[in-house]
Structure 1
Amino acid sequence: MLGSIAKWHFKNELQERSLILVSVYILQPFLTFWGLTTRPFEPDIFEAPIWYLIIVLSFFTIMLPIGKMLFKDKKKRAIFLISSLVGNTANLGIPLGIAIFGEESVPYTTMINLANVFFVNTIGVYIYSSGNFSPKESLMNVIKMPILWSAIAALIVNFLNVQIPESIAENLKLGAYASIVIQLLLFGIYLSQVRVEHIDWLLVKTVGLIKFFLLPGVSWILLKGTSIEPFIASVLLMELITPLAIANVNFAALFHCRPKDVAALVFVTSLFFLIYFAVIWPIVH
């Protein structure tokens, strides 16, 4: 709300691209590093993120030819391919897991979010970038993502059990919280510029179909045939059906890939999620 009001009031004086650069290249690495070093990893929590990546990458492979048939525009195709799969596994998924399953879900939701971070900062960045850049330039854009290197550094610190001094940990926490605030402000700024004509109903229908029905439906059938614990499977399914992440808006804006369309898509799917989750979760769970 504050982001929208600020944009309406200051108009062109408020340059959202500056905030995007600050968020992606400065603050989000704080969030990633802080989130992955707050608690030690346990060996049995790796099952959830491995299954998450298997499911998401399998769907991505299947969606490639479908995207080419449905969307001739490269930017819309990029939005279709990534936004259908990148959910809000952190800002929504982690607290939602606590509300439904309790604190014991946090290690699993944190690791699933880690898998999501790697997916969106590699394949996601490449696909969003490919709407405007060559394959070589898109690959370089992936390599230049500080969030990816921040996550790798955090994993090394965690595995080596390096103790971070409290003063440094507090600064990491400040940067992490600031990142969340900036992301939400940016979402409001882009949302304030969205008009009805920015809602691509083909994108809404196809992304919604995959995100809320095909992805969780196929995953549920697949997981039922495995030996995965029901608790872990439930947490995984919950993370898979979270609505589109605001990170989609960040990367779409960073690489000039129709950010207003993406903001509209995030907003519409988030509203739908409120009703959808209230109806579907008691049945599935």
Structure 2
Amino acid sequence: MNVILTVLQTIAPVFLLGAVGFAWVRAGFEYKVEFVTRLAMTLSVPCLIFVALMKTRIDPAALTTVSLAALAAYAVLTVVFWALVRVAGMDQRTYLAPMIFGNTGNLGLPLALYAFGEAGFGYAVVIFAVMAILSFTFGLWLVSGGGSPLRVLREPIVGATLLGGVFLWNGWQTPAWLTNTLELAGQMAIPMMLITLGVAIARLHPSRFLPPLGLSLVRTVICTAVAWMTGLGLGLEGVALAVLILQVATPVAVTSYMMAEKYGADADAVAGLVVVSTIVSIVSIPATLGFLV
């Protein structure tokens, strides 16, 4: 019973805020996703990442191990899903990136915070940063069919991650007035991302249900297994291992749909994956947390 209550207390704020965004759109109110997303990715999320890394009390060596585990997990997932997409005869530009990269920002960060506290949040930020860098380079290259990976250097998230890592490694702190300002800006990120997730899902209208359901179930099982095996292989345990599993197994991100729409992949198919995998996560995330907590 205690485990069930803990899981419910963890997931309730996440899904309730998503429901707020969903209900907001269904009620006919205006919500500019492009503006909010740009505000989050340009200002709020970089501030969140920088402050979280600067203030974390986790051993830098442990964070390095988590970063390597995240890289290894995404590398294995790339190979596995490339083979799956190829064997199934699916379009690589449409399906490969969404299958690899999950919603580690909108869902993963708040889940890690509520389930494992500040320590878990520190690990989750690092995994999110690794995913974001890979998604804006390799993932973008997959969806667009080319392009320069150097564009990632223009992303504020990357600069915030590198700078936060430097501060963490050296034990530096910004002045209190600046830390408070950055922390306040970063506090917008999680509720804003969750509400935006609900808004985006309310606006998606996938034309098919069964194919994305099968892919979502397969993806959940594979991501969970790969994260678990990779983490154990690199010596992760406790909270670090739990957060890695939770982050890697998050459902398909709305940004995958936005990329597909922008670069001419099958956006309807990706919309189906986003919606259905998020619905599946209503069951899979509590089950995973019940095992991990």
> Could you say whether these structures have the same fold, taking a TM-score greater than 0.5 normalized by the shorter chain as the test?
yes
Name the residue aligned to 1:147.
Answer: 157
State whether structure 2 residue 57 is matched by structure 1 residue 49: no
Which residue of 1 is the match for residue 6 of structure 2?
none
Listed as ranges, the gaps of 5+ residues in structure 2 are 1-18
Counterpart CA distance in 1 for 2:226 and 2:88 is 21
Equivalent position amino acid for 1:146 in 2: P
Determine if the alignment matches structure 1 residue 9 to structure 2 residue 28: yes
Q: Separation in 2 of the partners of 1:107 and 1:16?
A: 27
User: How many positions carry a matched residue from both structures?
Assistant: 273
Q: Once the 2 structures are TM-superposed, how far is the Cα of residue 272 of structure 1 from its aligned partner?
A: 1.3
Q: 1:15 to 1:47 in 2, by over 3 A?
A: closer
| Alignment of 1:172 onto 2:189 | no
Encode CA deviations 1:227-247: one digit per residue, 9 max, x unaligned: 543554344323332333444
Please tell me whether residue 213 in structure 1 is matched to residue 228 in structure 2.
no
Q: Which residue of 2 aligns with 1:183?
A: 193
Judge conservation of contact 1:33–1:150 (CA < 8 Å) in 2: yes
Distance change in 2, residues 1:156/1:234 (3 Å):
closer
Query: Which residue matches 1:265?
Result: 273
Structure 1 residue aligned with 2:146, among 135, 150, 166? 135
Q: Is the 8 A contact 1:87 1:244 kept in 2?
A: yes
Pairs within 5 Å for 1:195-210: 195-197=205-207, 199=208, 201-210=210-219
Partner of 2:50 in structure 1?
33
CA distance 1:107–1:255, shift in 2 (3 Å): same
| Corresponding residue of 1:83 | 98
Farther-moved stretch of structure 1 (152-161 vs 15-24): 15-24
Counterpart residue identity of residue 82, structure 2:
L
Contact 2:48/2:182 (<8 A) preserved: yes
Code of the residue aligned with 2:28 in structure 1: it is: H
Q: CA deviation at 1:60?
A: 0.6
How far does residue 81 in structure 1 lie from its aligned partner after superposition? Answer: 1.9
CA RMSD of aligned residues (A): 3.6
Secondary structure at the counterpart of residue 174 of structure 2: coil
Distance in 2 (CA, whole Å) between partners of 1:121 and 1:55 is 17
Query: SS of the counterpart of 2:171?
Result: coil
Distance 1:187 1:57 in 2: 26
Cα distance between partner residues in 2 of 1:71 and 1:6: 36
TM-score, normalising length: structure 1: 0.74
For residues 219-261 of structure 1, the C-alpha deviation after alignment (integer angstroms, 9 at most, x for no partner) is 4456566654355434432333233344445655665656665
Aligned identity (percent) is: 19
CA shift digits 1:89-135 (9 cap, x unpaired): 3554355445555655344334333333332233233334x1xxx62
Determine which of 233, 241, 245 is the counterpart of 1:237: 245
Residue 163 of structure 1 corresponds to which residue in structure 2?
A: 173
Q: Which amino acid aligns with 2:120?
A: S
Distance apart, 1:209 and its partner CA: 0.7
Deviation at 1:176, TM superposition (A): 1.9
**Residue deviations 1:28-57 (CA, integer Å, cap 9, x gap):** 333332332232551234323312211211
SS at match of 1:150: helix
Are 2:54 and 2:164, in contact at CA under 8 Å, matched by a contact in 1? Answer: yes
Query: 2:16 aligns to what?
Result: none
